[in-house]
Amino acid sequence: MNFLDLLAYAGIFIFAITGAFKARTYKMDIFGAAVLAFVTAYGGGTLRDLLIGARPVSWVNDNIALLLVLASIVITFLFQLNYRQFRRTIFFTDAVGIGLFTVTGIEKSLAFGLNDTYAVVMGVITATFGGLIADILCNAVPNLLKRGELYATACAIGGVIYILLKKIPLEHHINLSICIIIIVAVRIYSKRKRLSLPEI
Amino acid sequence: MNFLDLLAYAGIFIFAITGAFKARTYKMDIFGAAVLAFVTAYGGGTLRDLLIGARPVSWVNDNIALLLVLASIVITFLFQLNYRQFRRTIFFTDAVGIGLFTVTGIEKSLAFGLNDTYAVVMGVITATFGGLIADILCNAVPNLLKRGELYATACAIGGVIYILLKKIPLEHHINLSICIIIIVAVRIYSKRKRLSLPEI
Amino acid sequence: MNFLDLLAYAGIFIFAITGAFKARTYKMDIFGAAVLAFVTAYGGGTLRDLLIGARPVSWVNDNIALLLVLASIVITFLFQLNYRQFRRTIFFTDAVGIGLFTVTGIEKSLAFGLNDTYAVVMGVITATFGGLIADILCNAVPNLLKRGELYATACAIGGVIYILLKKIPLEHHINLSICIIIIVAVRIYSKRKRLSLPEI
């Protein structure tokens, strides 16, 4: 396992924690929390795999995935963690996480023959639709679709730049890092400046 | 591109516009509107493809699909269109659209080895489940499942007649036209007479 | 058709009836009720098939599936049945049904190369996620995720024991029966003792 894998698992873990916190907000039991943690972490990649035709979906037989979700539930439950205590950590780790997920989604989609445009679409879906599905399971209007901070937009910007940089001979790790830095920067900047997309 | 393709794209465009209007009703931002427009237009066909095992799903790499959705968002946003202005146009174009989608869904399902009954089921899903998924994303009870005008029923009637007419040697275009005309007729008639299915 | 098939169809029929009752609670029309009955009966298996990569999904071209759903709608509608009259029958048949579905889901998942852990996960999904999807279609927070009786937990316990008993040479029917009896027992015991998982 290299540094990139570690980073990916950290991202997944934070996604799972976010799902567990959401479950608490909606007063679910620990089974519901496990479902929400899993869906938040893996829902976007699952939808991407279904759409591009990868089968089985990516997490099947990945025991580490289940362990991470389990750990997120145990920690959230035992220590009665809540969102406020870790707001900054979650915000930052989540931003790195969606950066990684965007790139992973783009690369897998390209490997399945998608063109650049649709690869970016799938990158954004990979990074952001897990939270959307979790919101639906909570019977809430998905945050992703409402006016707020730039979230999917940040992924889209990072994804487009990643695809463009692939055209010039640039080492993968550098390109990936640039993409993540851009997404984190857009996230921070949009939060500071209270930027958001206009309502339709 | 022939007349049929044009008709199909007109149908998709109207579906996308309907999705964009729905996004406005639920105060979403333009990203949310794009998601809703896409889901309304392509959600039914996506579900059909997943169920019958067609992969990747139909719209992958179809850049015109993205352009149509984008156009529907730009037009809805710039001209601040709303539903009332175009009620009649939308009603009629939508009826033609669900007719076309029903037939497309039936033909693709038959090509994947489905029997007549399930092909009609898939035709109805293709035509009507995009709006259902969009309603779920808006956190609303899907209109499709509630008492109201005959909508899925119109598609089912048109679909059954289409399948029956396929048994006699009839040119595809004529059969298609008959199916669309029947669906449009059922839609108009049921609206005029305020017909609806009984509550369970 | 053997005894096991009969049992499976009885389980599916009860699932469909449950879906039809849910449709009535949410004042849907008979088309909506048919969708809910179908989704309650087949939604879990459909999700499992999509995730493990079985295509098309299991019920395609199974005309008996449609007939069972149709029968559940006709009976619910004509006789204006309601949940209270059949509470005990439904509770018991449903418990047997989720037992059967858990085992079916596990066996199909193993056949598709899933490891024991994920096979149990898929067994639980097969047995319980149909109701979850139906709840989403009704715009309700899924019962499955909220604090209440042990439901998914019962399936998980039965599934784990089924997987363990597979390791020793035991006839399939006996193993299946033990799994179902355990799930029914957990269901009854948890209802009597008002057991439930803790909130997250």
User: Which of chain B's residues have a Cβ under 8 Å away from the Cβ of A113?
Assistant: 56, 61
At residue B84, the pLDDT reads 75
Could you say which residues of chain A have pLDDT below 70?
1
d(CA B36, CA B32): 6
Instruction: Of A148, A140, A144, give the one whose Cα is nearest residue A124.
Output: A144
**3-class secondary structure per residue, A97-145:** HHHHHHHHHHHHHHHCCCCHHHHHHHHHHHHHHHHHHHHHHCCCCCHHH
The CA distance from A74 to C200, in Å, is: 9
Residues C73-90 have pLDDT tens digits of 999 998 877 777 778 888
The length of chain C is 200
Alpha carbon dihedral B181, B184, B186, B192, in 10-degree steps, equals -130
- Chain C residue set in contact with B, beta carbons under 8 Å: 20, 23-24, 26-33, 35-36, 46, 50, 55-57, 60-61, 63, 66, 73, 76-77, 136-139
Interface predicted TM-score (ipTM): 0.94
Question: Tokens in use for A75?
Answer: 């920690």
Which residue among A28, A60, A73 sits closest to C145, beta carbon to beta carbon? A28
A55: nearest Cα among B50, C41, C150: B50
Packing angle, helices B30-52 and B116-137, rounded to 10: 160
pLDDT at A1: 65
pLDDT at C63: 94
Task: Tell me the one-letter amino acid at A55.
Answer: R
CA distance C23 to C37: 8
Mean pLDDT by 10 residues, chain B (200 residues): 80 92 92 97 97 95 94 90 79 92 96 97 97 96 91 97 92 92 95 91
Count Cβ–Cβ pairs < 8 Å, chain B vs chain C: 83
CA B181 to chain CA centroid, Å, is 15
What's residue C178's pLDDT?
A: 95
A29 strand-pairing partners: C199
Query: CB-CB: which of C55, C140, C145 is closest to A32?
Result: C145
Comparing C-alpha atoms, which of A64, A133, A118, A127 is closest to residue A100?
Answer: A127
How far is residue B95 CA from its own chain's centroid?
A: 8
For chain A, the chains sharing at least 3 beta-carbon pairs closer than 8 angstroms are: B, C
The three-class DSSP label of residue A17 is helix
- CA A133, A134, A140, A144 dihedral sign is negative
CB–CB of C28 and B199 under 8 A? yes
Residue C56 is predicted with a pLDDT of 95
Residues of C within 8 A of B199 (CB-CB) are 24, 27-30
Give residue C1's pLDDT: 65
Residue C35 pLDDT class (50, 70, 90 cuts)? very high
| Neighbour tally for B4: CB within 10 Å | 14
CA C92 – CA C7 distance, rounded (Å): 13
Find the closest chain C residue to B197 by CA distance: C29
- Residues of chain B in Cβ contact (below 8 Å) with chain A: 20, 23-24, 26-33, 35-36, 46, 50, 55-57, 60-61, 63, 66, 73, 76-77, 136-139
Closest alpha carbon to C178 in C151, C153, C159: C159
Would the CB atoms of A52 and B56 count as touching at under 8 Å? yes
Rounded Cα gap, residues A47 and A53, in angstroms: 10
Per-residue pLDDT, C5: 81
Euclidean distance between CA atoms A170 and A172, whole angstroms:
6
Q: What is the DSSP letter of B136?
A: H
Residue found under tokens 């849910």: C22
- What residues of C are in contact with residue A77 (Cβ under 8 Å)? 198, 200
The tokens of B89 are what? 């146009």
pLDDT at B8: 85
Task: Report the residue of chain A nearest B42, measured CA to CA.
Answer: A51
CB B12 within 8 A of CB B38: no
Torsion over CA: C55, C58, C60, C61 (sign): positive
Tokens matching residue B175: 């059969």
Give the mean pLDDT of C148-159.
Answer: 94
For residue range C83-114, list pLDDT tens digits in order: 777 788 889 989 999 999 999 999 999 999 99
- Residue B143: left (phi > 0), alpha (psi -120 to 50), or beta? alpha
Residue of C nearest to B122 (CA): C60
Instruction: Indicate if the pLDDT at residue C119 is higher than 70.
Output: yes
CA dist B85 and B107 (Å) reads 35
Paired with A28 in beta bridges are: C146
Which pair of tokens denotes residue B104? 């497309």
Q: How far is C116 from chain B (nearest CA, A)?
A: 25
- CA-to-CA distance for A149 and A190, rounded, in angstroms? 6
Asked if A136 lies within 8 A of B138 by C-beta distance, the reply is no
C147: confidence class by pLDDT, cuts 50, 70, 90: confident
- Exposure of A117 in the CB half-sphere (CA atoms within 13 A): 9
